[in-house]
Amino acid sequence: MSDFLFDYHKVHPTTWVYLSSLLTISLYFKFSRVLSVRNLDLLGLITLAPGLLVVEYGLTQEDLQLEQIGYIWLFLASGLFMIRLLVDPMMVRRPLLEPNLSIGGMTFLGVSLLIFLMANVVNSKMTPEDLAGARGADQVRARQSADPEDKSLVIHGPGYPLLHLLPSLSTQALLTDAPATDAAQEGGERRGDVVHIATARVMAILSHLAIVIGMVLIGYRHFDNIRAGIAAATLYLLLPYTAQLTGRVDHALPAALLVWAVETYRRPLMSGMLIGLAIGVIYYPVFLLPLWLGFYWQRGLLRFSLGVVITLALLVGSLAFTSDSLASFFLQLQQMFGWTSLSPADIQGFWGLDIIPPVYRYPVLVALAAFCVSLALWPAQKNLGTLMSCSAAVMIATQFWHPYGGGLYMAWYLPLVLLTIFRPNLEDRVALSVLGQGWFPKRRVQLVGADQAA
C-alpha cells in the first residue's frame, strides 16, 4: 500500500481491535434500548477479539500459557454464542433495529473496508511458515506410493487436499513482520510457490467478495430489507478477525460456500451442491446434513441430496485424476473425509496444549454427532431463520473438536451469526411455501392452504 499511498502503514491488529469496537458500538448499538438482545450480541462479538489476539501473541512469542488463556477465552465466548443461536428460533418478536448510519454511509464504509482488506492481501509477503504447509502438501500430492505414511499433509486437514497447496497469507502481524520470502525472486525451484501464492491471493479476495455479496443479497431477497444485508456485511468487514486473518483461504472459502448455500436455499439442487462442495473443502459441514435434510424433508429432499452426492462424486473423481498412485489417492481420500482427524499426527491448538488430555476429544465428537442428529427433529417446523441460526451453531460446535487451531476458524460461522442477528421474523420461509413443485409433483405431500413460492 505504501507504493500507492505515501508513507502508508498498516493499522496494528491490537489498535484495530479498539477502533473497530468503537465503530461497531457507534454504528449498531441502540442507545435507546440498552438492554436489547442486539446490544448483547454486539458485545459478544467484541469479546471474541481479545481471545484471538492472545492466541496469536502466544504463538508469536512461543508462550504456551498465553495460548492456553486465549483458546479458553475463545471456547467460552463461542460457547455462549452457540447457546444464543440455539435460543434464537424461540425469539419470535424481532423488532426492527436499524443501524445508526444510512444505507449510503454503510455502503461507502463497507466498500472502503473491503478495498483496504484486499489490498493487504495483495501486498502481503510470504514467510517460511506460510509456505511450509503448501510445500508439504505439494510433496504428498506428487509422491509415489513409496511413503504413504508421510504426515506432511495430514496436519493440514481435514478437507480437500489440493486446498492445502495454497499457503497461509499473513496479512497482519502482532509484532514486527517476520522475514519474508519473495518467491518470485527465488528462481526455478520456487516457481511452484509463485503459482500457489497468486492462486491463494485471488481465492482469498474472491471468497471475501462472495461473502459480502451473498450477505447483501440475503438481506435483499430473503429479508426484504437490503439495509439489513448491508449492515451485516459491513459489520463482518469491521470485525478484528476479518482484518487479521483476511488471507486465510481455508477460512474464507468455506464461509462463502455456506453463505451462498443459504442464499440459494429456494433451489435445493444448487444449495445441495454448495453444501457438498463445502463438505469436500473442509469436511466439517457434513455435520450440517441432518439439519438441512430436516428442512427439506417435506419438499426438496431429493434435489438437495442429489446435489450433495453429485458434488462429492466430482471431488473424489478429481482426486483420482490428480493422484500418482493408488496409495496416494487413498491417503488424500482419508484426508478429505476427515479420517485422519480421528487420530491426528500433530495436534495443534487447544487440544495440543495439555489443558485437557486429547483423548477427551472423542466424547466431544459423540456429543457433537448427537447434537447434530437432534437438529433433524428439533425444531419440528424449520424455517430460514432456523436454518441460519442452527447452521451457525453447528459450525461453532465443530470448533470444539477441531484438532488444528479450533476456535480460530471464526469465518465458518460469523457471517451466519451476523445474518441471524439482523434477520426479521422468517416463520413463513419454510420449504413447503417457498419451493417449487419438484421433479415428481404426484409424490409430494399435499398441504391444504399452503402458500405458493414466495
For 73, the grid coordinates are 477465552
Contact 225, 424 (CB under 8 A): yes
pTM above 0.75, yes or no: yes
Q: What's the full length of the chain, in residues?
A: 454
**Residue (of 336, 403, 32, 321) closest to 161 by Cα position:** 336
Query: Phi and psi of 126, rounded to 5°?
Result: -85, 135
Amino acid present at 13: P
Query: Phi and psi of 181, rounded to 5°?
Result: -115, 115
What is the number of H-type helices and E-type strands within the chain? 17, 0
Distance of CA 453 to the CA centre of its chain: 30
Per-residue pLDDT of the chain (454 residues; tens, 9 = 90+): 555 566 677 788 899 999 999 999 999 999 988 889 999 999 999 999 999 999 999 988 888 899 999 999 999 999 999 999 999 999 888 888 889 999 999 999 999 999 999 988 888 776 666 665 565 555 555 543 334 445 555 556 788 887 877 787 777 777 654 455 554 444 444 555 787 788 889 999 999 999 999 999 999 999 999 999 999 999 999 999 999 888 889 999 999 999 999 999 999 999 999 999 999 999 999 999 999 999 999 999 999 999 999 999 999 999 888 777 888 888 888 889 988 788 776 788 889 887 888 889 999 999 999 999 999 999 999 999 999 999 999 999 999 999 888 899 999 999 999 999 999 999 999 999 998 766 655 444 444 444 444 4
Contact 198, 144 (CB under 8 A): no
Q: How far is Cα 225 from Cα 229, in angstroms, rounded to an integer? A: 7
Contact 291, 394 (CB under 8 A): yes
Q: How far is Cα 370 from Cα 401, in angstroms, rounded to an integer? A: 14
3-state secondary structure of 181: strand
Q: How far is Cα 204 from Cα 441, in angstroms, rounded to an integer? A: 41
The CA-to-CA distance between both ends of the chain, in Å, stands at 46
Provide the angle, in degrees to the nearest 10, between the axes of the packed helices 64-87 and 414-422: 40
